[in-house]
Every structure is written in C-alpha cells, then in structure tokens.
Amino acid sequence: MKIAVCIKQVPDSWAQKTMGSDGRLDRASVDAVLNDLDEYAIESALKLVEANSPTGEAGEGSEHSITVISMGPERATEALRKALSMGVDDAILISDEALAGSDALATSKVLATAITAGGFDLVICGTESTDARMSVVPAMLAERLSFAQLTFAASISVEGSTVKISRQTEFGVEEMSAQLPAVVSVVEKINEPRYPSFKGIMASKKKPLATKSLAEVGIATGDVGSSAAWSSVKDSLPRPARGAGIKVTDNGDGGSQLAAFLAERKLI
C-alpha cells in the first residue's frame, strides 16, 4: 500500500489573521504551523501501516510506505519535517513562486498531479485547513483522480484492496466501502495524533524531502497562482468589533435580567 497524506502549513489557528492589501491572507506576519487537522490524517496513515504490516513499520523492507505531500512556500518544509518526525517515510513539497494565490481548483490540480506521478493507492487528508476552511480539496482530488471518495471518516480500515470507513452525516451513521485507489478524509475524533519522539525527530533529518518546482511536476505556471484563480476578492474589511455588550454579575437575579434582555430584544 502506497499512502499519500496531503498536508498544509497554515497560520497558527490561535493567531489573529488579517487580510493583506492584495485580498489574500497575510501569511508573513503570523506563525506558521502544520494544519492541526492534518495531524489526524498522518496518524491514520501510521496506524493503518502498523495494522497491516507484520513488523508494524513502513519504509524499507515493508510493502507499505507513507509520503506526505504539500504545496506551499519553502518554509512549509517545517510542516513536512514534523510529519517525518511522527514516522512518515518521505516528503514532497511542490514549491514555486507562481503558485502564490492559487485557489482550491489549482491546489487540487497540483496535488492530483503529484499523486498520479507517485502511483499512490490511498490518499488521506484532514477535513479542511484551518485558514481557508473551504473543505473542498479532498472531494476535488477524488474527482480529478477518479478515485473513490470516502470523506469525514471517523474510523478507517484497509483489508487487501478494500477500504472501509464509518462516518456520521446528517443522514445518520454510514458505513462506506470502496476498492482502492481511494481518497479518504478523516475527522478529528478518529485518533489521538502522536507527538514526535526524540528518536523520530533525529531520524526525520535524514529522511528524503524533495522540493519540486512546477516544471518538475509538469504543470504550466499559467495554470496556477492568483492570475489563474477562478474567483477573486473584490474587497475585504475588518468586521466591526462586536460592541462590548452589557455584562452583569449574578446576584441571584442574573437569569431574570437575562430574560428581560431577551424580551426587550423580542427574542422571547
């Protein structure tokens, strides 16, 4: 089983995010971290290999491998190194100045091209990145690759070439299955991502991390980036801060005061 895990480096979700004058997220002024929802995808890949390999390990001598793939600026190597230190075998970063400002369509095109080139049979993603929060890239990858789509997995197992997941949707709890190749996205309750061990961190420094330009993956620069984005931001404004409202201390009638406020607003 050749597993690809797609990850993204994002602004720290605790940081205050602002819009730059170009209508894009100002990424330079905030700390960049591995999208925490992607850690669940990495952990899922590691657990699948442990469950399917006699030695419990991927990599050399194993029929299984895990590759993390990301698209982003050079500093996204930090996020890839973290994945390597968790136990992933190797990493690919597609990095090119022409990629700046790419929309989800271009992102999915670049990732799909790298996945096809690598011959992967299982692609695992988090459900969304905590910056753009569109949650469309896993579905777009399935569409582009013609892979089976099993998204929002709360559990995952692979037996032979069959992948099974269970998930909670608005319809109820669904069990889904498909033949590989498949794209799976995992929700955060699927597991508890491991912390990189000291040994893992040391080992990650020697693991292969390939940085590829668009030309090297075979995509024309004109097909990606802000000039090729199929949607554009007209303007953005900081939302006026919610005026600090009324704040009372409960001295036995806090609930009544609250009810009176709701009545005044005609909410009850």
Residue number with CB closer to another protein (90 or 103): 103
| Amino acid identity at 218 | G
**Part in contact with another protein (CB under 8 A); list of ranges 49-57, 62-70, 172-180, 208-216:** 172-180
Instruction: Return the H-helix or E-strand segment holding 203.
Output: helix 198-204
Residue 178 near another protein by CB under 8 A: yes
The site for another protein, by CB under 8 A, has a size of 83
Minimum distance of another protein from residue 90's CB (angstroms): 28
Give the closest residue to 69 by CA, choosing from 43, 42, 87: 42
Minimum distance of another protein from residue 199's CB (angstroms): 29
**Part in contact with another protein (CB under 8 A); list of ranges 66-74, 209-217, 218-226, 250-258:** 250-258
Whole-angstrom distance, CA of residue 57 vs CA of residue 64: 8
Between 229 and 248, how does the x/- string for binding to another protein read (CB under 8 A)? Answer: xxxxxxxxxxx--xxxxxxx
Minimum distance of another protein from residue 42's CB (angstroms): 16
Residue with tokens 């004109």: 222
Footprint of another protein on 184-213 (CB under 8 A): 187-189
Whole-angstrom distance, CA of residue 212 vs CA of residue 76: 13
Whole-angstrom distance, CA of residue 193 vs CA of residue 1: 21
- Give per-residue burial for 205-222: e unless 16+ CB within 10 Å, then b: eebebeebebeebebeee
Residue number with CB closer to another protein (91 or 124): 124
| Amino acid identity at 208 | P
Whole-angstrom distance, CA of residue 147 vs CA of residue 217: 20
Footprint of another protein on 53-72 (CB under 8 A): none
* Contacts of 98 by beta carbon, 8 Å cutoff, 6+ apart: 214, 221, 224, 225
Residue 21 near another protein by CB under 8 A: no
Footprint of another protein on 102-161 (CB under 8 A): 103-105, 108, 127, 130, 133-140, 142-144, 147-152
Residue number with CB closer to another protein (139 or 209): 139
